[in-house]
């Protein structure tokens, strides 16, 4: 199946359309089945993926609007493959563990459309196609937050939409300008990213364009000081909304940096290392401190995920294979771990209808399974060795150490600070005396909840112990990217900064 | 003794007049039908109108490009053909909105349909000539018919709208006449191609710039009224509110296409002559129009008024494309309206089916946002479709207006106006808020009144129209390419 990417994109969309017809009592089973098929299809993509090939695979190219240079252009490489897999996995698990019962059919249909846009973003190789899926992904999320969220849901959903929409329109102008430069040089319009890669831009153009794309991506990541929408979005969103938002939608921003900013503007990226590193360190430390001060369990995880996105951003701008691979790997681990943590918080919220830490304490006694799984995920989030979270974080710090040891030390506090606020959650919620009467009657996880979390626990441990199957293809594509950036860079500083790896050291170290 | 004038029939090239004559004859046929039998149902008149427009459409398609006719008064170039096709096509899809399940006053008169056809012939005259007098005649024919159509809605604020529109229209007509008079005084000609020739030779004369300035200011004011550009836009929201929803939707597209064609001819000429400041004035007006109309739209309580401001803002967007004076820019005007037409048709039809005789939500507004609260629970499909139309208007891909928007922005960047593209981008972001407001009401709030309030007027023909608008909005990605290459070919063939 050479056109498996199209199938992956349109299968959930068609299923979503047909889902309108399905009876509402069966909607949930329908959704889970569709998501499972989609996940199996994406696994198939992985197995038929040639891990030795660093370039784009399963490429499809159909011109749609040749006069504007817009085409239906898709492909997948080692970087996008695993983010795609994570998206389909998290949609499946999120749906399976979902406790929502209100308007369940609308929720399933919305999630299926959302899945289409998520897969679409990660496989699009045409800038307009990318933009199309990027913008479309806002609509289902708006609906999920707005219709199933907490008391401030409408405000939160509009804030989420307008923030991202504004940023992406600036990005669109940037895209148009790149296409215009391409048009000036070659005489034809093209929005194909691979065509754009061939452009060698003067440094001042690169800086402006980098800024335009930066606005779009940074709001999505979200980078300090554009992060203010995320506490509202997470605070008000239903569990499934937070899971998808943290696991996948935020990754769109960091993925955008890899796909667009780094290869297209290598010199500007090198110049941006220091400012971005400073912002990332602010994100890491400042949001970790905010996380520590939160009274609400969900907000702790929301802020911790901003903090972890700081690590990912730092890795992206390390300009060497360790940093970049670690960063991509951290995207995966953050997606799975924070998704799982949001699911866990959602489960306790369904039982108690509160997320306040002060309401809990001593839960280990009544909910042992819950406490164990929460503990594992918490350790992974902190970055304990032999868990999923460690590999990426370690590689990022290792990579950035070559850029600036001082900043790396500051960024390394993330592990300490992460442990501080996470263990505080652990202490307040799970240990201590079981004082609250209401907590004594709490039921432990039921079969559905347990079985939707077990695969995540398995992945967290498996990839923490043996990351090579995932890390090797990522590393492969990352190295190709770095070689390409190095060739393309025009300033000497950029050529010095971008380290082209010769041997695959990173995978060995990770083990 | 007067010399007899010898004119051969062939040199008149009467076929260039055929499309307008078909529309006029069609209007007369409808009046005659009424004379013979006064009890005919409106559905007959609607269908007759569509059929006459169909013949009209065919007659336009059959015209050759770049011909003149009727003492060289008629000019059939590419933009006149595509604009006539759009005017006729747009009219064909708007007129079936008369087929509501409830009875509305104006549609029981066959005169409504006759006037409608006369109006179309007026628009066709406007676009199919470069003679200032014939343009004037076309504008007046169309406008007078349109005022009457608005007033026929038989409500106090319809009369208000008609009178307001009439007064403003008369003022605009006066400006146009005065501007044309100055042009004639300068060049001794009222045909634009001759005007351009004479002006080009006289451009360096001292003191002439003042007169050129005067003529262009007057003409610009006239068309700013017609296109509802800032600061001449204030009539638009009131008129849209007073007119019935189908007419309001119609007014936001079709008359503007006609006015844009004349603007391309007029102001394109000035810009080509090197009168650079007119480009600057148009750009400033365009930027102010889109920005201020957007800000005004934010604070509206009525969906129809919001859509009125939004269509003013869209007009500003397109006006910016006009100022570029490139083939791409001019193509963008037609592409944008072609795509915008269907989305707007859908949105106004949705308003139309929710129209009541009485105002059920307060005294002031017909379509306050509360009316649509919780629409997803009352009429899920209707809510989803309205949501799609709103997203399309906001410029969310892959819906139709996005492709128009991106083409306008592409043309803008290509002409070197990066700042303008950024202004357009920011304006789209502002606009997203008020479109989103309606979506929020429809999807995220609970209904406030009884269930039957919303889909009051729906009938099968209206459902077909909404379906058509939806298909055209959603599948735009597939037909943009052929549409664009046809429009581009036609625009470049007529030398703009």
B329 contacts on A by Cβ (under 8 Å): none
Which of A176, A184, A204, A213 should be substituted to probe chain B, the one whose Cβ sees the most B Cβ atoms within 10 Å? A176
What is the DSSP secondary structure assignment for residue A260, as one 8-state letter? Answer: I
Residue B302 main-chain phi, psi, to 5 deg: -115, 135
- Listed residue (A297, A315, A306, A308) closest to A333, CA to CA: A308
pLDDT digits (tens, 9 = 90+) for B24-49: 999 999 999 989 987 888 888 899 99
- Interface contact A135-B477, CB threshold 8 A: no
Of A135, A138, A173, the CB nearest to B425: A173
Cα A188 to Cα B335: distance, rounded to the nearest angstrom: 20
Q: What is the pLDDT of residue B284?
A: 92
- Interface contact A162-B429, CB threshold 8 A: yes
What is the residue-averaged pLDDT of chain B?
87
Longest distance between any two alpha carbons in chain B, whole Å: 83
- Interface contact B397-A135, CB threshold 8 A: yes
For residue A102, the distance in angstroms to the closest alpha carbon of chain B comes to: 13
Minimal-distance CA residue of chain B relative to A148: B444
Residues 189-218 of B with CB under 8 A from A: none
What is the DSSP secondary structure assignment for residue A76, as one 8-state letter? Answer: E
- Interface contact B418-A173, CB threshold 8 A: yes
Residue A124 main-chain phi, psi, to 5 deg: -70, 135
B426 contacts on A by Cβ (under 8 Å): 166, 169-170
- Kindly state whether B398 is in contact with chain A, defined as any CB-CB distance less than 8 angstroms: yes
Minimal-distance CA residue of chain B relative to A69: B481
- Interface contact A176-B481, CB threshold 8 A: no
- Interface contact A179-B444, CB threshold 8 A: no
- Tell me the β-bridge partners of A72: A62
What is the DSSP secondary structure assignment for residue B197, as one 8-state letter? Answer: H
- Interface contact B436-A161, CB threshold 8 A: yes
Higher per-residue pLDDT: A494 or B82? B82
Q: What is the pLDDT of residue A505?
A: 44
Q: What is the pLDDT of residue B62?
A: 87
Of B376, B398, B409, the CB nearest to A173: B409
CA-to-CA separations, B425 to B317, B321, B403, B428, in angstroms, rounded: 10, 14, 14, 5
- Listed residue (A224, A198, A211) closest to A277, CA to CA: A224
- Kindly state whether B389 is in contact with chain A, defined as any CB-CB distance less than 8 angstroms: no
For residue A51, the distance in angstroms to the closest alpha carbon of chain B comes to: 33
Q: What is the pLDDT of residue A507?
A: 43
Instruction: Let me know: does B166 contact B212? Beta carbons within 8 Å.
Output: no
Helix or strand holding residue B76 (H, E): strand B74-76
For residue B304, the distance in angstroms to the closest alpha carbon of chain A comes to: 22
Neighbours of B462 (CB within 10 A): 22
Which of A16, A67, A70 should be substituted to probe chain B, the one whose Cβ sees the most B Cβ atoms within 10 Å? A67
Task: Provide residues of A within 8 Å CB-CB of chain B.
Answer: 64-68, 106, 128, 131-132, 135-136, 138-139, 142-143, 146-147, 153-154, 157-158, 161-162, 165-166, 169-170, 172-173, 176-177, 179-180, 183, 189
Burial tier of B1 (Cβ tally within 10 Å: 0-12, 13-18, 19+): exposed
Cα A284 to Cα A279: distance, rounded to the nearest angstrom: 9
Neighbours of B201 (CB within 10 A): 9
Higher per-residue pLDDT: B144 or B5? B144
How many CA atoms lie within 13 Å of A144's alpha carbon, on the beta-carbon side? 30
pLDDT mean values, one per 10 residues, chain A (511 residues): 88 91 88 93 90 85 88 90 92 86 86 93 93 92 88 89 89 90 88 89 90 92 87 89 91 92 90 91 90 89 89 89 90 92 89 84 85 90 87 90 88 86 87 80 84 90 89 88 86 80 46 37
CA-to-CA separations, B365 to B234, B362, B379, in angstroms, rounded: 18, 7, 22
Query: Which among A10-14, B71-75, B99-103, B379-383 has the top mean pLDDT?
Result: A10-14
Minimal-distance CA residue of chain A relative to B480: A65
What is the DSSP secondary structure assignment for residue B368, as one 8-state letter? Answer: B
Higher per-residue pLDDT: B39 or B320? B320
Residues 318-377 of B with CB under 8 A from A: 376
- Kindly state whether B391 is in contact with chain A, defined as any CB-CB distance less than 8 angstroms: yes
**Is pLDDT at B109 greater than 90 in this prediction?**
no
pLDDT digits (tens, 9 = 90+) for B236-254: 888 998 888 889 999 999 9
DSSP assignments along A419-436, one per residue: HHHHHHHHHHHHSS----
- Interface contact A65-B414, CB threshold 8 A: no
How many CA atoms lie within 13 Å of A82's alpha carbon, on the beta-carbon side? 27
pLDDT digits (tens, 9 = 90+) for B426-468: 898 888 889 988 998 888 888 876 655 666 778 888 889 999 9
- Listed residue (B346, B392, B364, B390) closest to B238, CA to CA: B364
Q: What is the pLDDT of residue A501?
A: 62
pLDDT digits (tens, 9 = 90+) for B369-413: 888 888 888 888 888 899 999 999 998 888 999 999 989 998 998
**Share above pLDDT 70 across residues of chain B, in percent, rounded to a whole number:** 98
- Kindly state whether B383 is in contact with chain A, defined as any CB-CB distance less than 8 angstroms: no
- Interface contact A154-B436, CB threshold 8 A: no
- Interface contact A128-B488, CB threshold 8 A: no
Which of A19, A169, A179, A182 should be substituted to probe chain B, the one whose Cβ sees the most B Cβ atoms within 10 Å? A169
Q: Are strands A57-65 and A70-76 parallel, antiparallel or unpaired?
A: antiparallel
- Tell me the β-bridge partners of A486: none
- Interface contact B444-A189, CB threshold 8 A: no
Size of interface A-B (CB pairs under 8 A): 93
Instruction: Let me know: does B157 contact B244? Beta carbons within 8 Å.
Output: no
| ipTM, interface predicted TM-score of the complex | 0.84
| Long-range contacts of residues B220-224, Cβ cutoff 8 Å, at least 24 apart | B220/B267, B220/B278, B220/B281, B220/B282, B221/B172, B221/B175, B221/B179, B222/B172, B222/B173, B222/B175, B222/B176, B222/B179, B223/B172, B223/B176, B223/B259, B223/B262, B223/B263, B223/B266, B223/B267, B224/B285
**Is pLDDT at B88 greater than 90 in this prediction?**
yes
A117 contacts on B by Cβ (under 8 Å): none
Instruction: Let me know: does B389 contact B469? Beta carbons within 8 Å.
Output: yes
User: At a CB cut-off of 8 Å and minimum separation 6, what does A29 contact?
Assistant: none
A135 contacts on B by Cβ (under 8 Å): 396-397
């Amino acid at each position: 199946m050479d056109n498996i990417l199209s199938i992956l994109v349109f299968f959930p969309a068609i299923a979503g359309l047909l889902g309108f017809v399905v009876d509402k009592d069966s909607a949930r089973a329908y959704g889970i089945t569709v998501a499972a098929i989609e996940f199996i299809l994406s696994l198939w993509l992985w197995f038929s993926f040639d891990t030795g090939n660093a370039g784009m695979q399963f490429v499809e190219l159909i011109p749609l609007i040749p006069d504007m240079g817009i085409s239906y252009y898709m492909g997948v490489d080692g970087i996008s493959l695993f983010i795609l897999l994570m998206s389909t996995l998290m949609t499946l698990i999120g749906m399976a563990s979902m406790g929502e019962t209100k308007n369940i059919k609308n929720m399933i249909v919305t999630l299926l459309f959302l899945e289409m846009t998520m897969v679409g973003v990660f496989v699009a190789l045409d800038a307009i196609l990318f933009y199309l899926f990027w913008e479309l992904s806002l609509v289902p999320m708006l609906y999920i937050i707005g219709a199933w969220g907490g008391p401030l849901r409408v405000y939160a959903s509009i804030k989420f939409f307008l923030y991202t929409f504004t940023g992406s329109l600036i990005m669109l102008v940037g895209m148009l300008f790149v296409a215009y430069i391409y048009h000036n040089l070659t005489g034809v319009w093209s929005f194909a990213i691979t065509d754009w890669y061939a452009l060698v831009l003067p440094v001042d153009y690169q800086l402006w364009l980098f800024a335009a794309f930066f606005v779009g991506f940074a709001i999505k990541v979200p980078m300090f000081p554009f992060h203010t929408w995320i506490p509202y979005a997470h605070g008000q969103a239903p569990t499934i909304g937070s899971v998808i938002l943290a696991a996948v939608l935020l990754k769109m921003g960091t993925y955008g940096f890899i796909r667009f900013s780094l290869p297209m503007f290598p010199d500007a990226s090198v110049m941006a290392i220091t400012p971005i590193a400073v912002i990332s360190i602010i994100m890491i430390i400042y949001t970790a401190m905010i996380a520590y001060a939160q009274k609400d369990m969900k907000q702790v995880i929301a802020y911790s995920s901003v903090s972890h996105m700081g690590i990912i951003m730092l890795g992206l701008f390390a300009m060497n294979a360790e940093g970049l691979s670690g960063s991509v790997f951290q995207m995966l681990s953050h997606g799975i771990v924070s998704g799982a943590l949001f699911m866990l918080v959602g489960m306790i919220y369904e039982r108690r209808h509160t997320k306040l830490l002060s309401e809990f304490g001593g839960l280990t006694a009544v909910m042992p399974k819950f406490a164990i799984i929460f503990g594992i995920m918490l350790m992974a989030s902190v970055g304990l060795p032999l868990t999923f979270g460690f590999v990426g974080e370690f590689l990022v710090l290792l990579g950035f150490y070559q850029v600036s040891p001082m900043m790396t030390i500051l960024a390394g506090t993330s592990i300490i600070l992460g442990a501080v606020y996470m263990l505080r959650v652990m202490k307040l919620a799970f240990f201590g005396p079981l004082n609250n009467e209401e907590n004594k009657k709490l039921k432990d996880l039921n079969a559905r909840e347990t079985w939707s979390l077990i695969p995540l626990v398995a992945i967290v441990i498996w990839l923490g112990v043996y990351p090579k199957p995932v890390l090797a293809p990522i590393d492969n594509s990352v190295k190709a990217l770095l070689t390409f950036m190095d060739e393309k860079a025009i300033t000497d500083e950029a050529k010095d900064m971008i380290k082209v790896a010769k041997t695959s050291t990173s995978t060995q170290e990770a083990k | 003794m007067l010399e007899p004038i010898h004119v051969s029939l062939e040199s008149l090239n009467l076929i260039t007049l055929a499309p307008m004559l078909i529309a006029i004859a069609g209007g007369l046929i409808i009046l005659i039908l009424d004379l013979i039998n006064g009890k005919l149902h409106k559905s007959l008149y609607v269908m007759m109108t569509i059929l006459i427009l169909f013949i009209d459409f065919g007659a336009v398609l059959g015209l050759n490009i770049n011909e003149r006719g009727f003492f060289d008064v008629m000019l059939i170039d590419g933009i006149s053909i595509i604009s006539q096709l759009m005017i006729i096509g747009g009219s064909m899809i708007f007129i079936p909105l008369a087929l509501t399940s409830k009875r509305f006053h104006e549609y029981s008169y066959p005169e409504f349909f006759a006037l409608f056809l006369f109006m179309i012939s007026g628009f066709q005259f406007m676009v199919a000539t470069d003679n200032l007098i014939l343009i004037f005649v076309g504008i007046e024919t169309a406008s007078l018919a349109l005022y009457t159509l608005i007033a026929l809605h038989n409500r106090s604020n319809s009369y208000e709208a008609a009178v307001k529109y009439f007064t403003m229209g008369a003022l605009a007509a006066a400006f146009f006449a005065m501007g044309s008079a100055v042009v004639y005084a300068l060049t001794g000609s009222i045909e634009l191609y001759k005007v351009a020739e004479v002006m080009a030779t006289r451009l360096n004369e001292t003191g002439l710039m003042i007169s050129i300035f005067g003529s262009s200011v007057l003409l610009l004011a006239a068309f700013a009224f017609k296109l509802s550009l800032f600061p001449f836009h204030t009539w638009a929201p009131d008129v849209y509110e007073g007119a019935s929803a189908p007419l309001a939707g119609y007014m936001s597209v079709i008359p503007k296409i006609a006015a844009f064609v004349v603007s391309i001819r007029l102001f394109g000429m000035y810009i080509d002559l090197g009168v650079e400041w007119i480009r600057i004035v148009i750009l400033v007006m365009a930027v102010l129009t889109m920005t201020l109309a957007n800000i005004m739209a934010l604070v509206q309580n009525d969906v129809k008024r919001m859509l009125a401001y939004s269509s003013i803002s869209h007009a500003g967007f397109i006006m910016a494309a006009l100022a570029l004076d490139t083939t791409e820019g001019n193509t963008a005007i037609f592409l944008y309206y072609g795509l915008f037409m269907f989305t707007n048709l859908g949105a106004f039809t949705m308003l139309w089916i929710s129209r009541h005789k009485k105002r059920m939500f307060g005294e002031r507004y017909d379509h306050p946002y509360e009316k649509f609260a919780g629409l997803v629970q009352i009429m899920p499909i209707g809510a989803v479709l309205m949501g799609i139309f709103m997203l399309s208007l906001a410029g969310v891909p892959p819906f139709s207006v996005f492709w128009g928007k991106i083409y306008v922005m592409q043309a803008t960047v290509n002409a070197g106006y990066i700042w303008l593209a950024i202004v357009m981008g920011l304006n789209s972001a502002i606009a997203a808020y008020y479109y989103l407001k309606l979506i929020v009401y429809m999807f995220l709030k609970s209904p406030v009144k009884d269930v039957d309030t919303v889909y009051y007027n729906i009938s099968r023909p209206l459902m077909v129209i909404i379906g058509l608008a939806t298909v055209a909005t959603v599948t735009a990605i597939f037909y943009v390419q052929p549409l664009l290459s046809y429009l581009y070919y036609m625009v470049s063939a007529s030398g703009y």
